[in-house]
């Protein structure tokens, strides 16, 4: 793997680290299987693109993208807590609806080019793009570190603890006076805000806001979370968030390696096989603890 | 002070499996009173408890706690008045959280949860002090996941958690039913201790007549969704299980047929 490909893997990995943190909140902390991600990721991208093209400062455009994601997450949560629709179905409904919403935002085209448009990277990238390969990952890393620090802090506050309790044991949380519905609304908003922010950054690194970029977001996020859990596996928030970030990095580096590997390409593996490979990876990662256990049992018997 | 008046709840109303779980349940509990509640399966014990805690909305009737009408309030909005220990040790605590985190959750029961840290030096010290009462060595295991504790240990911690904040009524829902006899005795003793030390108003549902008479100052018996017996003071002091059964037969004109009640 070349150095450029390595940094490319790190860059995408860091973007998906934001997605992984979002998925961590919905799937793990709130125990809310949320597929909104596939819609909120491109939502972040298109909201960013439209804002920047309207002359909004790219940093502010990122904030708007995150807010749009938060709103999408809240709609999913509302469908569940107020209308009592199953979490999985509620999120699928919002995901499908977002496809149309995203097309509305772009004005009907599935792809908005951002070449030449200002980005959060542009002030720091040299005119000849010579430093782009490390400047971009560095700035994205800043976003990731900031998100991690804020989440670590939040989940150790009284409200954050109440949110964690909501996911683990909602009945007990209610008995302790936690408004669990509000916690789900807030948690889903934070989750999808992070995912949409990831989408906005992704659009800036690829130079276009593409509706197709959302396909498989949830699976990638889940892959990152599960890989991270297999790598670290801890119950402390500090480590849980770190494992999601590491999981995303490891996953993207594996993908970058696989896509640049001559042997695999000789076998006929193509970049478009990415989602298939990811799905298979998730299945393996999900089964890993069971396989480990049965291996241990065989050894001991 | 807790006033429940004429509570009615029917499950699956209008269907062949219609079940009138409460048919005019009324009970007044004075401040500082420890009431034990018995009744056979289906008498409406759990339904009554769930109605007071807000887990279940009644069809009609009123519930007042400390003078406040809470009949239509959901569980989390009653939490400043009601403390609770569940029957299932798993239900009353958050398995994936540590002992100190569970206690911190309970420490904020009924108050607004802002963005202050859930744990700090002072409340850790308080939790350690409270846990040391149990003499289970848990004061040195604050950061252990509560899922690692046994059922009895978890019920003991649940009791402590229920007493961290003042409440107007403490609901104990057969909280020793899932424990072995020795652990159950320990948890019951702890219950008496915590209730008397904090002068709590408490309502303990139990399956055992023995327990019902041995603990608290007043015993009520539920039958078919109503209070059918209410004994306290001198009448109760001299009572044994057979006396309670006789009294039940006199008032109802039928025999108690639930083995669990007789054996308990």
- A161/B contact by beta carbon, under 8 A: yes
Report whether pLDDT(A14) > 60: yes
Structure tokens at A44: 């972040």
Predicted local distance difference test score (pLDDT) of residue B264: 47
CA of B237 to nearest chain A CA: how many angstroms apart? 34
CA of A256 to nearest chain B CA: how many angstroms apart? 35
Report whether pLDDT(B32) > 80: yes
pLDDT in tens, B81-125: 999 999 998 899 999 999 999 999 999 998 889 999 999 999 999
User: In terms of pTM, does the model score above 0.80?
Assistant: yes
pLDDT in tens, A217-255: 999 999 999 989 988 877 789 999 999 999 999 998 888
Angstrom CA distances, B6 to A88, A262, B26, B122, B188, stand at: 41, 79, 5, 45, 30
The ipTM value here is 0.88
C-alpha B11 chain-centroid distance: 22
* Residues of B engaging A, defined by a Cβ cutoff of 8 Å: 53-55, 74-77, 79-80, 82, 84, 86, 91-98, 101, 104-106, 108-111, 113-119, 145
Give CA torsion, residues A34, A38, A39, A45, to 10 deg: 130
Using left for φ > 0, alpha for ψ between -120 and 50, and beta otherwise, residue B110 falls in left
Better pLDDT: A275 or B46: B46
Using left for φ > 0, alpha for ψ between -120 and 50, and beta otherwise, residue B145 falls in beta
Give CA torsion, residues A58, A61, A65, A68, to 10 deg: 180
Rounded Cα distance, A35 and A91, in Å: 5
């Amino acid at each position: 793997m070349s150095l450029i490909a390595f940094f490319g893997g790190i860059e995408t990995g860091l973007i998906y680290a934001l997605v992984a943190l979002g998925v961590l909140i919905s799937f793990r902390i709130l125990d809310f299987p949320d597929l909104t991600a596939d819609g909120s990721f491109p939502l972040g991208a298109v909201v960013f693109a439209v804002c920047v093209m309207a002359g909004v400062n790219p940093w502010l455009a990122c904030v708007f993208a995150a807010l749009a994601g938060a709103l999408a997450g809240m709609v999913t949560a509302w469908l569940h807590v107020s209308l009592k629709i199953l979490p999985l179905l509620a999120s699928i409904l919002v995901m499908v609806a977002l496809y149309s919403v995203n097309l509305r935002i772009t004005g009907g085209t599935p792809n908005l080019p951002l070449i030449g448009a200002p980005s959060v990277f542009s002030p720091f990238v040299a005119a000849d793009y010579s430093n782009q390969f490390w400047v971009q990952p560095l700035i994205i890393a800043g976003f990731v570190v900031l998100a991690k620090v804020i989440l670590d802090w939040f989940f150790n506050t009284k409200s954050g603890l109440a949110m964690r309790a909501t996911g683990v044991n909602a009945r007990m949380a209610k008995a302790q006076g936690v408004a669990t519905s509000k916690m789900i609304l807030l948690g889903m908003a934070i989750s999808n805000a992070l995912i949409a922010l990831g989408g906005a950054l992704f659009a800036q690194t690829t130079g276009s806001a593409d509706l197709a970029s959302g396909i498989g977001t949830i699976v990638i996020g889940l892959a990152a979370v599960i890989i991270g859990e297999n790598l670290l596996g801890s119950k402390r928030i500090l480590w849980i968030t770190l494992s999601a970030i590491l999981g995303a990095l490891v996953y993207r580096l594996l993908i970058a390696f696989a896509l640049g590997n001559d042997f695999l390409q000789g076998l006929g593996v193509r970049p478009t096989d990415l989602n298939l490979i990811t799905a298979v990876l998730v299945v393996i990662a999900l089964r890993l603890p069971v396989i480990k256990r049965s291996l241990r049992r065989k050894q001991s018997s | 002070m807790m006033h429940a008046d004429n509570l009615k709840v029917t499950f699956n109303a209008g269907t062949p499996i219609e079940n009138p779980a409460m048919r005019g349940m009324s009970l007044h509990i004075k401040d500082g009173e420890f009431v034990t509640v018995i009744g056979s399966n289906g008498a409406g014990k759990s339904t009554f408890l769930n109605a007071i805690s807000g887990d279940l909305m009644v069809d009609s009737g009123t519930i007042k706690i400390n003078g406040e009408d809470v009949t239509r309030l959901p569980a989390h909005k009653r939490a400043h008045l009601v403390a609770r220990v569940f029957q299932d040790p798993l239900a009353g605590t958050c398995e994936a959280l540590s002992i100190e985190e569970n206690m911190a959750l309970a420490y904020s029961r009924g108050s607004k949860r802002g963005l202050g840290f859930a744990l700090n030096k002072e409340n850790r010290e308080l939790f350690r002090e409270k846990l040391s009462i149990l003499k289970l060595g848990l004061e040195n295991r604050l950061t252990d996941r509560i899922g690692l504790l046994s059922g009895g240990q978890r019920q003991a911690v649940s009791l402590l958690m229920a007493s961290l904040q003042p409440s107007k009524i403490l609901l104990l829902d057969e909280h020793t039913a899932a424990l072995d006899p020795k652990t159950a005795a320990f948890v019951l003793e702890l219950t008496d201790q915590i209730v008397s030390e904090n002068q709590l108003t408490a309502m303990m549902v139990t399956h055992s007549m023995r327990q019902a008479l041995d603990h608290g100052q007043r015993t009520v018996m539920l039958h078919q969704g109503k209070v059918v017996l209410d004994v306290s003071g001198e009448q109760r002091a001299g009572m044994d299980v057979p006396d309670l059964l006789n009294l039940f037969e006199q008032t109802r004109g039928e025999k108690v047929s639930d083995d669990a009640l007789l054996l308990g």
